[in-house]
Amino acid sequence: AVVSTQSTGEKLEYLPAIVSFVKHCGEDILGVMSSKNRELQEEYGVKLPLMKFLGKEKQQIFADLVREYCATVIISLIRMHGRLLKILKQNKKTLYMKGEVSAEKIEIAE
């Protein structure tokens, strides 16, 4: 897969590009519709034309890549949250024991 765990790591560097891609090309490439467009179609009873230049199989390939990336993002965010909670707990313990937390530890937590 083009977008895999090894290429993204913990940095989540492709997230803005993936979100923009799904937002702007999701209907045509992935076969998904934004909730805003769906609500507008239901409200006005109008069917928006879709460009059908990819078959279902190719749409499925793109959808699987996006799902894989989303799973990677979720795992990365859970790990980052766990590390943050650990750092905050250590800082709280240090504050309780020493009465202060070093600027370096505060910067790491931010």
Average pLDDT score over the chain: 79
- Rounded Cα distance between 14 and 63, Å, is 16
Of 38, 30, 21, 18, nearest in space to 56 by CA: 30
Inter-residue contact 91 to 106 (CB < 8 Å): yes
Query: According to the model, what pLDDT value does residue 19 have?
Result: 86
pTM for this prediction: 0.65
Report residue 11's pLDDT band, with 50, 70 and 90 as the boundaries: low
pLDDT in tens, 52-92: 777 888 888 888 988 888 888 899 889 989 999 998 888 88
Mean pLDDT for 91-100 is 78
Of 97, 29, 38, nearest in space to 63 by CA: 29
DSSP, res 48:
P
Query: According to the model, what pLDDT value does residue 29 have?
Result: 80
